[in-house]
Amino acid sequence: MSKVKRNFIYNASYQVLKLFTSFITTPYISRVLGANGRGVYSYAYSIAAYFVMFAMLGVNSYGNRSIAMARENAEELNKKFTGIYCFQMGTSAIMIALYIFYTAFLCGDKVIGWLLLGYVISAGLDINWLFAGLEKFNIIVLRNIGVQILTTAAIFLFVRQRTDVYIYTLINVAGIAASQLIMWASLYKYVRFVKVGWREIIAHAKPNIILFIPLMAVSLYTVMDKVMLGMLSSKTEVGLYEACEGICQIPGAFIFALEGVMLPRMSNLWANKDEEQSARYIDLSILFALFSSTAICFGLMSVAREFVPVYYGSGFEKCIILYQWLLPSNIFVAFANIIRVQFLIPRGYDKVYVSSVCLGAAVNIVLNLLLIPQLQSLGAALGTFAAEMTVCMYQCIAVRHKLPIQRYFIQAVPFLASGLVMYWVLTHIDFPFYAIYSIGIKILLGIVLYFGVLLVGVLIFRKYLFYHTVGKR
């Protein structure tokens, strides 16, 4: 088995576990804490996440890429790691100090604020980018699996009533901190700290900031949605929106698993000028992204009416309509992620990436300001959908002369058609059974419909689906 396949299995296994644990904890937390309790935690966490974001800047992407390109040279690897980590420690120290000031003088719920300090501190301990760049995903995944299981067990054991939002916060923070600390046990098997000068440390500032700009922009239509909801609407609306996010992340789970594996691999291939293998990976990844995103997105949308009351309980009915806008945005995310991770970042086309997400962020903020006061959480969902579509379209237009974008769009037709047919049929059928049985029947019928239509589409578009370019792109 190739390293890419093995690493994908590692990452995919963790994503499945994460989805499973989120799937079983979300209805429990929704019932125990309620929409308001979830909203209080989500709002405070979203603010702390910005401090973590500024602490890390673009280290996760930049460090991953830099380590991948230097890993064949031990001396260069040690210098890169030391310089990048020293830079990370400097930015983390600044953000920790600023967060302490924020919590002491500006934070509304100081108990949650002080508990989340552990989350901010953990940013200074984060060395996941090193092991990702080395393609040592087994270390990352095994650590994450252990922590995920313990965190989930702790939630069920200790979170029992609405006032336990503080315990819930503590458990999550402890899980994050533990996952970072465990990584240090394996550090010296692969790298050593070496003496580096200030100039070598500061040299990492510019590329980090360049890759931080799109990260910040993306946060404006992911994290900032919940902050703006809390400011322009209510904590209950934040809780509804946050409750939907867990399920709406399912379509992107396998794409994120692929993303983590392919960034270091494509960076290494580009450093070694292996165009043929790079082209093959992109072609296959596009097909995988189209299949997984359309099947899961339209499938979940089709059963939302029956699923939401059973899964969340009373008070979360608005999630049905939120699903219809949040889920389709995953199709744009999946497509854009392949272009970003496997082409733009490895080849240093940072300007295109930065411009696309900045434009998406601008679209999202404007729509949030216009729509949230009237539509509340639905307004945030509409803003996110428009932002993700904007990012995807911009990136496609920007690389149309370097990648066969037109062929990718043609490839998307049978997958989108299969999803739409499945969605239309299932939403126009009502079964006279209990909701749980209706969900099961619809899932089985949906699988038959999706693959049936897809088979016809494959026969019609087979020359586009199974054509992999290795020359002109």
Q: What are 373-415's pLDDT values in tens digits?
A: 989 889 989 998 999 999 999 999 998 888 888 888 888 889 9
CA distance 304 to 296: 12
CB-side neighbour CA atoms (13 Å) of 295 = 19
Predicted pLDDT at 345: 77
Is residue 470 pLDDT above 50, yes or no?
A: no
Is residue 33 pLDDT above 60, yes or no?
A: yes
CA distance 69 to 346: 10
Is residue 221 pLDDT above 70, yes or no?
A: no
The predicted-structure confidence for 324-350, as pLDDT tens digits, reads as follows: 988 998 899 888 888 888 888 787 777
CA distance 420 to 27: 28
DSSP letter string, 280-292:
HHHHHHHHHHHHH
Of 17-31, 174-188, 263-277, 438-452, give the lowest mean pLDDT range.
Answer: 263-277
Instruction: Tell me which DSSP letter residue 119 carries.
Output: H
The residue type of 44 is A
Predicted pLDDT at 464: 66
Of 153-157, 239-243, 319-323, give the lowest mean pLDDT range.
Answer: 239-243
Predicted pLDDT at 397: 92
Q: Which helix (H) or strand (E) is 74 found in, with range?
A: helix 74-105
Mean pLDDT calculated for residue range 162-173: 91
Predicted pLDDT at 471: 37
pTM as predicted: 0.70
Is residue 267 pLDDT above 60, yes or no?
A: yes
Predicted pLDDT at 92: 93
The predicted-structure confidence for 428-461, as pLDDT tens digits, reads as follows: 888 776 777 888 889 899 999 999 998 887 777 7
CA distance 56 to 208: 9
Q: Buried b / exposed e across 55-79, counting CB within 10 Å, b at 16+?
A: bbbbbbbbbbbbbbbbbeeeeebbb
Mean pLDDT calculated for residue range 249-278: 71
Is residue 28 pLDDT above 70, yes or no?
A: yes
> Percent of the chain having pLDDT more than 70?
92
Mean pLDDT calculated for residue range 237-261: 75
The predicted-structure confidence for 42-66, as pLDDT tens digits, reads as follows: 888 888 988 998 998 888 888 888 8
Spell out the domain ranges in the chain. 3-190+204-465
Predicted pLDDT at 233: 79
Q: Taking the mean position of all CA atoms in its chain, how far away is CA 331? A: 13
More confident residue, 55 or 186: 55
DSSP letter string, 295-322:
HHHHHHHHTHHHHHHHHH-TT-TTHHHH
Predicted pLDDT at 349: 79
The predicted-structure confidence for 103-148, as pLDDT tens digits, reads as follows: 998 887 889 999 999 999 998 888 888 888 888 877 878 888 888 8
Predicted pLDDT at 224: 74
Tokens of 217: 């922009």
